[in-house]
Chain A
Amino acid sequence: MPTVEVQNLSKEYSGRQVLKNVSFTVKNGEVFVLVGPNGAGKTTLLRILDLLEEPTSGRVFFNAKPIDYSARDKAVLRRKIGMVFQQTVLFNMSVFDNVALPLKIRREDESNIGKRVKETLELVRLNGFERKNALALSGGEAQRVAIAQALVTEPELLLLDEPTANLDPRNVSIVEEVLSHINREKETTIIMTTHNIFQAENLAHRVAVLNEGKIEAVGTFQEVFGKPAEPIKSFAKLENVFHGFSRITAEGTSVVDIGEGLQIEATFKKTGNVVLHVPPEEIILSIHPLFSSARNTFEGRIMQISDMGHVAKLKVKVGANKSFTVQITKRSFNEMQLNIGSKVYITFKASSVQTN
């Protein structure tokens, strides 16, 4: 029995189509990861699954029953679902009370609450933080409290919107461990979004690529992105995915030859064939070459401009067959007076380069 089935889901905001005919099925106990750039519609999709938003058309089945978005009392169904937002929202109370809150909302036994909260805080490695005010925590700790809030009720389905965006590597690995642990131990079905495709490789049973509101590919990570040694099957499925040969430099970084004489410097240490991903929002676009600490600069020409509402997405061609997608705000776009054919420079840090 599938836990979640999405059928021809569309969502429109004042004339703008955010989701276009999205369909997929997530099986019971599966970790399903939606990857895609900012503005692809990932957040909207999760918000619809959590009943915070109504779809414009299409249906969602939860345990084979269609979700009634017009129901007055949505709490019954929401209580089976745990949700973690990208922007952490905690309550101005202690860490303990924050994690106890979902149980109190469900009017659970006081004795049971203490036990569950303690177990969950241990799981996210925040034991000892019980009495601290939640608003005084660091970003990573706060996000782990938010995850504990979602897990404390042992939900059937866990939704996470970019749970590790803006977290330092230590917190990222704790969060990833927690997610694989509860999926393994409690068989919780997980649907999460990320713009780091290599997180998808670590966690996902299956991956879906969401781009401009459309599902462009669904399958295992290998099926969608291919193995590093093979040519990437869906090269165009995600922006700024390159594949090349990496060697370690004297400084301890890596230089990856992606062909056409183009080399990308990255902070990881790897030798051999690798897949690279540079998130579009990590790239700085400029009219003149930048004198900066960022290790990667390429000269190119704008080939394509797409309007994404408050941001503009530009395709910058840097070689005969190589181009980067860059995401900038509409305001910068207008101020820089860019056009198709404009000569520009793109710059990004070695630490912005992700790999498998």
Chain B
Amino acid sequence: MIESAFWDEIWNITLLSLRVSGTAVLIGALIGVPIGTILGFRQFKGKRTLTRFVDIMLKSVINTFMGLPPVVVGLVVYLLFTASGPFGWLGLLYTPTAMIITQLIMVVPIIIGVTMSAVGSVEKAIRERALSLGATETQAAWLVLREARMGVLTSIIVAFGAAISEVGGIMITGGNIRWWTRTLTTAIVVETELGNFAMALTLGAILLSMAFIINLALTIVQLKGARR
């Protein structure tokens, strides 16, 4: 019986982790890929000093946000959704939704940043080649996106990898409530503190296998997308 309850809980924790990070990355991709694409296209057009200045500032801001400490994001989301906060009336604190919002804020800059550099790195050469083959500007833009597709996929995988292994943010906004907001990472923290090393190590092994699968996918994508 104990055996079964043990695995039930692990199953519940794993599924919640996948659901929270998966949803955050999915919504993040819907927001981040279009923005990253537009910014990637803009990169090479900055000939004037002002456009260049705006471009550099924008890029630096995105790069800073790419390395946003999850605990800080968690803190901000907590303050926004706590009972006395501006969104307190929604009653979302300590729910999976609050965790999704936390991770969403984390992954959007990652997706924007990686997509932007993927598009930017092929933009000039592919656009000109497409134009010289008779493409209209619209057709050329589609071809640029098509060439950057592996980079876009990379951005999504990297974002998922960051989200699934993140602990500080969702700990604050999810509250690590058993059977409700406990994920792989937050569970490892609490089980280690309680001395339940069997549980902690099992969860750790699951997390590690996920990290491996993510990196495997990333390597395959990068090999397929490699340009000489």
Interface, chain A (partner B; CB < 8 A): 50, 52, 73-75, 78-79, 81, 83, 85, 87, 89, 91-92, 101-102, 105-106, 135, 149-150, 153
Contacts and interface: CB of A to CB of B under 8 A. Distances in A.
A85 to B, nearest CB: 7
B225 A52 contact: no
A89 B134 CA distance: 15
A153 B129 CA distance: 15
Given A73-B136, A75-B136, A135-B227, A91 B143 contact: yes
B1 interface: no
Contacts of B150: 92
Contact of B126 (A75, A91, A150): A91
Given A52-B132, A75-B134, A89-B125, A135 B146 contact: no
A75 B135 contact: yes
Nearest to B124: A89
Interface string B120-147: 0000011011111111100100010011
A89 B126 contact: yes
A87 B126 CA distance: 12
A189 to B, nearest CB: 16
A106 B134 contact: yes
B50 interface: no
A52 B128 contact: yes
Nearest to B150: A92
Contacts of A83: 132-133
A89 B130 CA distance: 10
Given A79-B134, A91-B143, A135-B227, 16 more contacts: A52-B131, A74-B131, A75-B134, A78-B132, A83-B132, A85-B128, A87-B125, A89-B128, A89-B129, A91-B146, A92-B146, A92-B147, A92-B150, A102-B134, A105-B133, A106-B134
Contacts of A153: 134
- Which 8 A/B pairs are nearest by Cβ-Cβ distance? A79-B134, A83-B132, A89-B129, A102-B133, A89-B125, A75-B136, A105-B135, A105-B134
A91 B135 contact: no
A89 B127 CA distance: 10
B129 A85 contact: yes
Contacts of A105: 130, 133-135, 139
B226 interface: yes
Contacts of A89: 125-126, 128-129
Contacts of B126: 89, 91
B48 interface: no
A52 B133 CA distance: 11
Interface string B43-76: 0000000000000000000000000000000000
